[in-house]
Structure 1
Amino acid sequence: MLHHFSLCRPALVLAAPLLLAACQSQSTQQTDAAATTPEAKADSTGGKPKFLSKPLVSDIYTADPSAHVFNGKIYIYPSHDIETGMPENDKGDHFAMRDYHILSMDSIGGKVTDHGVALDTKDIPWAGRQLWAPDAAFKSGTYYLYFPVKDKQDVFRIGVATSSSPTGPFKAEPKPIEGSFSIDPAVFTDTDGKAYMYFGGLWGGQLQRWATGKYNANAAEKKPDGDEPAIGARVAQLTPDMKQFAGPVKEVVILDSLGKPLKAKDNTHRFFEGAWMHKYQGKYYFSYSTGDTHLLAYAVGTSPAGPFTYKGVIMKPVQGWTTHHSIVEFKGKWYIFYHDTELSNKTWLRNVKVTELKRNPDGSIVTITP
């Protein structure tokens, strides 16, 4: 989950040749006054900004959408943004979310159902604060919800909760996943049945504090930005029960076109947070946010653990500082779920959206551009 910086960026106009129909919730009960009366917004010329689609729901703020198809239906596992009144800072303390709501939809452009609270911080025995971007998976009749939350020592760990229903409620395991750290878990199950978790995020996500393999509370809050190799996301195979790591945590390496690892200072290409994995025509597409340059980028490899070669930009900056996505195939088409700040114009109060993902004949992704 993208989570930092103190000021909203100016609104950007997003448009694309092929747009999906608006994906608007049919809910009429508005529980968040700010969501029903968003601030007026304008671009730098004084005109109204344009967006690729409408927010999927408007009665609550949602972000970091993790979309999955279960039983022929789309389920979305987002963060639930709330207004806390906390001052903004680079550690993301103002992103003080407390619970998750799960959304579902039978079709793109159709009605979106909010299934209510599926997991709350108070029901996680080891949790302290800040319930950030989750993900979900299914295996052998059980649904798994993976979540990052700071423990009682204010260190981000990743936990798992289970349910017999994709909408919960979910029951959290009594302890975090052993060896887990940082944020943004994304679980990918390969065609051979093996499951992998990708995770990590810089700055407030604390990934830079784990550079030596052990937590360093005195490490700089921000990322390195020199000629050294960029800090990569992490990946670990999951155990058959989907609740622990089956082996060591490894770094995800992204290479440039010459086969050299991306440098830390290359903030238009290197990983920052918000990892996602999908497979297309036998190749592994590792996608992620570049953070402070506000791009969704991707790299391609022949193994789920990498290395991956950088290929390009999936989506250029949206309105708001943060960007976070998921990619899913549904009824023969590919879609990208993402968020912006159309409803609030505040970077910590976001709304999830969806639009179609297009590819070129060679499998490369067509950039969604302003």
Structure 2
Amino acid sequence: MRYSKIISTIFCILISIAAFSQIKPNINTKPYPYGNPVIKHMYTADASPHVMPDGRVWMVTSVDHEDGGGYSTMHKYHTFSSKDMVNWTDHGEVLNIYDVIGSNVEPEGEDWALWAPDMVYYEGKYYLYFPVRILYKEGGYDEKTRKTIAYTGVAVSDAPDKKFTVINPKIKGTQGIDPAVFIDDDGEKYLYYGTHYGAKLKDNMMELDGEPIKMEVDDERFMEAIWMDKKDNKYYLSYHSHYDKPIDPENPDDLHRKKSRLDYGVSDHPLGPFEYKGILNYELGVNVNEGPKLPGKNYVPWRLYQSNHGGIVEYHGNDYLFYHTSALSSWRQDEFKGPGTWTQRSVCVDQISYDESGIIRPVQQTLTGVEPVIVDQPFEINLALKDTEVTNSTLKFENINLGTGYYYAAIEMKGIKEPLKCEIRLDKPNGALVGTFVIKKDGLTETLLRNAKGTHSIYLKFSDELPTKSSIKSVKIFAGSPK
């Protein structure tokens, strides 16, 4: 029995070493036979999904190298978009490590990499937040002895499918990896990164507004991959937990081993404190009973290789988790006869369900993926100003059908002398807040909307009396269906 245990442990260690050192060629050219992962022609990881003003879901992803080589070979980002959550368009490379370095070579003795990014739309521009991770080669690659630094930079573009330009290569005050950006219903903007740090962002989107804080998350296993979501006026902070490795192939569900999960906590404030609520996503491959099995085992081949990272988006009535597995590399390398490669991952999408109290049921990972989303409603709704009731700097628009969801709003004004805010509320002047215009000057001002669906009266509630001689030229709700 003891001899068997030793052999099993040695095999387990060898598998772990192979994940980083062995380069397996992608020799299988047969089409990948399942719906998950959703990107099948290249290796993608760390997806960050958002609905953009064109009404489509966009994600920016890390890219794992086609030839393997580990996390240090992650040098670029791609963007992808979908109108139905199933079929995705690759818009190509939008940022490369050499755009960040400003040279076509890495500094001597250093390995630079671009890890998990996030991308958001704000005031007509797209902002891409990227973690720069630098490994100093004199420290070696061993996890215990290596020397690294990491911080967040930001790049900007006029469109999510165009090249991004670095506008701040290192945001002062940031440290660690995996930035996530969040715009709240009141117009405030937040940046999260590293080991549960959070801070407000300035309006220029390239600097922190005050000192970052280390948030209370009520869980000692927080490791990386921070993500912020909001539902029913609660803030959901999810993250990847610390875990034990390697996984014993004879006992992958060992109760005594810390698991590589996505966990989450909930708060009434975007900077916490957060109360731990449980598991969002089990280890990769857990409870996936459909599809292939690793030869001689009763679990899917990618069950042994763990690298959890989540992104959440709501799209026309359903909530979705984006994560990644090594299922595609297992297929492309040897048609599911082996586990694939740890650092050749691919984005998957599955649905999130909540119970009546707002607790997330752990996501059921699938190979089939999600059902296609079909949207049958206008792209935009122009609110009729001539029929508007105006009372105490509040405008009311009655019986507006927001269908399965609209994600942005725009107001055009003239005669603005000082900045003012305008809340967008449903059903009554102090009803549910779904977005806030921050109006700084004449012209068009946009804001994102959250939970703007169904038929409601819409109230525009200005923070101050409207200036004399000011006027509202137009108001529209848009991004209600994909362009």
User: TM-score with structure 1 length normalisation?
Assistant: 0.71
| Percent of aligned pairs with the same amino acid | 35
1:60 aligns with 2:55: no
Equivalent residue for 2:83, pick from 87, 102, 106: 106
C-alpha contact (below 8 Å) 2:281/2:362 kept by paired residues: yes
Which structure has more relative contact order (CA 8 Å, sep 6+)? It is 1
Aligned to 2:353: 358
Q: Which amino acid aligns with 1:244?
A: E
- The match for 1:324 is 309
Pairing 1:315–2:266 present: no
- Structure 1 residues 210-233: Cα deviation after superposition (integer angstroms, max 9, x where no partner): xxxxxxxxxxxxxxxxxxxxxx41
2:180 aligns to what?
A: 186
Aligned mate of 2:269, from 300, 303, 311: 303
TM alignment of 1:168-317, pairs within 5 A: 168-200=162-194, 232-255=195-218, 262-263=219-220, 270-292=221-243, 293-317=259-283
SS, match of residue 160 in structure 2: coil
Give the AA of the match of 2:26. A
Question: Are 1:342 and 2:327 counterparts?
Answer: yes
**Cα offset, 1:325, TM superposition:** 0.8
Name the aligned partner's letter for residue 247 of structure 1: G
1:252 alignment partner AA:
M
State the Cα deviation string for residues 162-205 of structure 1 (Å, max 9, x = none): 001022210012531111111000001110111111111xxxxx
The whole-number CA distance in structure 2 between the counterparts of 1:323 and 1:126 is 31
Task: Name the structure with the higher strand share.
Answer: 2
2:16 matched to 1:34? no
Give the whole-Å Cα distance in 2 for the aligned partners of 1:108 and 1:145: 21
Aligned position for 2:93: 117
Per the alignment, do residues 291 and 96 of structure 1 end up closer, same or farther by CA in structure 2, a change over 3 Å counting? farther
- Look up the equivalent residue of 1:239 and give its one-letter code: K
Give the counterpart letter for 1:167 in structure 2: D
Question: What is the deviation of 1:34?
Answer: 1.8
Match of 1:160 in 2: 154
**How many Å apart are 1:6 and its aligned residue?**
8.5
Cα deviation digits, residues 303-345 of structure 1 (max 9, x gap): 0000000001011111321010101100111111110010111
Bigger Rg, structure 1 or 2: 2
Q: Tell me the distance in 2 between the aligned counterparts of 1:158 and 1:7.
A: 33
Aligned counterpart, 1:69: 51
Sort the Cα spacing of 1:117 and 1:7 in 2 relative to 1 into closer, same or farther, 3 A: same
Structure 1 runs of 4+ with >6 Å offset: none
- Amino acid of the residue matched to residue 349 of structure 1? Q
Which structure is higher in helix share?
Answer: 2
SS at match of 1:123: helix
Q: Specify the SS of the correspondent of 1:312.
A: strand
- TM-score, structure 2 as length reference: 0.55
Instruction: Measure, in 2, the Cα distance between the counterparts of 1:185 and 1:249.
Output: 13
In structure 2, relative to structure 1, the CA distance for the partners of 1:311 and 1:61 (3 Å cut) is same
Contact 2:152 2:169 in 1 (8 A): no
CA distance in 2, matches of 1:194, 1:291: 31
Distance 1:7 1:161 in 2: 38
Q: 1-side partners of 2:36 and 2:132: how far apart? A: 29
Paired letter, 1:105: S
In structure 1, runs of 5+ residues without a counterpart are 10-31, 41-49, 87-92, 201-231, 256-261, 264-269
Report the 3-state secondary structure (helix = DSSP H, G, I; strand = E; otherwise coil) of the residue aligned with 2:48: strand
Would the aligned equivalents of 2:190 and 2:199 in 1 still touch at CA under 8 Å?
Answer: yes
Q: Which moves more between the two structures, 337-346 or 146-155?
A: 146-155
Measured after TM superposition, the shift of residue 254 of structure 1 is: 1.5
Cα deviation for residue 35 of structure 1 reads 7.9
- Structure 2, unmatched stretches of 5+, are 1-12, 18-23, 107-111, 137-147, 244-258, 285-301, 330-339, 366-483
Maintained 8 Å contact 1:322/1:347: yes
